[in-house]
Amino acid sequence: APTAKHEAIKFSHYASGCTGRMTKADFQDSATVPDFLRPLSLERDYENDLEKNCRLSVTSNFSLDLVRATARCLCQALTLIRRTHQVSKSFYMFSDANRMDPMHLVEPGIVIGYRYMGQGMLSTSVIGFDSLRFGRVLSVDTFSRSWDVLVLREEGSEVAVAERQETVKADQLAGVEDKSARRPSGNLKPAPDSMAAFERTTSFLTTGNYILICRWCHQYWTLLQGNSQSSVRVPDFVQQIAEETVVLLGADLVLHALNGDLKKLEKKESTQLDSQVFELFADEGILESNAENEPLTNPFPTGRMKNIIDPIVWNGVQNQVRPYVIRAWKEKQETERKLNEKRKRSGSMSFYPGFHGMVEQSPFRGYP
């Protein structure tokens, strides 16, 4: 039987046969920094230490070719994950042939697809999947054969809708969610923000991996953008990777929330994850539609993925990431409020420099 050494030699010969000899010109290309890579030396306000290190590691055509080859492998892996993801087979559509009494199939918490009242009794095959309205069931009324639902998506639109409730009759039902298929593709973790944190990550797929891929897509597009004032078209393979990743990330974030995984995260990790989702998907129009929020005094940062993915994908993911984005926005507002209060206090203390650092003692300190 061949030993491990023989196997290694065989694979080494195979690999060497698939590659050509490096010429002097090839070596020069790998050792020099071309002009179009010089934008990679520019600092970015949004990047962390890990992203900065990855950016600075691309220094030549050779290293950029390695990145592109890795991206093509990544594209295939993402396609495989999407095709085998449980969410791809988690919704059951009714047809006229298998129509049954749906009351025992629907329970609070699951998602249903239904015809709105103006569609009457048209079959699902006639109106199409995109023409259905979707909502999460809040309560069941068996007497009137209806459900109160929270509307998640309007028919024929992927735009995030304002939260509202409506009543759905049993004869409007077109499909139900398979609750047993609520299994995310990976664990719920934020992306590492430093090389030390990256080295401590597990080998299991996590939401943090998807976030890192989204950041890479934006970084690659920023490289092509360079110093150009006009928008540069996103390469097809980058857009494909970005959209596949966004779909998987959005689905996993929803499933983790439904499964209660968010409650298991530590406060620091939860806040970090919210902030990273905000960085990628913040949308000023969506957030301003939430009456609980007030506009930020600073310029509002648009999510990094908005210029990378198709508007249909962008609008479709907004409903999925909205809770994370809103929590991060409120956290930013609270941080800004505290900073403003601190500035006011420090400003008022500047009028009394002699009292700086003094602590007032209460005459009632010894009493309850």
**For the chain (length 368 residues), average pLDDT per consecutive 10?**
68 70 70 64 68 74 81 90 82 67 85 74 53 89 91 74 84 86 90 85 89 91 70 86 95 91 91 94 75 55 90 89 90 85 73 48 41
Structure tokens at 187: 């664990």
Cβ atoms of residues 148 and 137 within 8 Å: yes
DSSP 296: -
Query: Which pLDDT value is given to residue 368?
Result: 39
Query: Which pLDDT value is given to residue 20?
Result: 67
DSSP 206: B
pLDDT tens per residue, range 300-353: 678 999 989 999 899 889 888 989 998 998 888 888 888 888 888 876 655 555
In Å, what is the CA distance from 160 to each residue of 156, 180, 337, 364? 12, 26, 28, 56
Query: Which pLDDT value is given to residue 268?
Result: 92
b/e per residue, 171-183, with b = 16+ CB within 10 A? Answer: ebbbbbbeeeebe
* pTM flag (> 0.75): no
Query: Which pLDDT value is given to residue 249?
Result: 95
Phi, psi of 36 (to 5 degrees): -70, -10
Query: Which pLDDT value is given to residue 38?
Result: 63
Measured between its terminal Cα atoms, the distance across the chain in Å is 84
Phi, psi of 163 (to 5 degrees): -65, 125
Cβ atoms of residues 209 and 128 within 8 Å: no
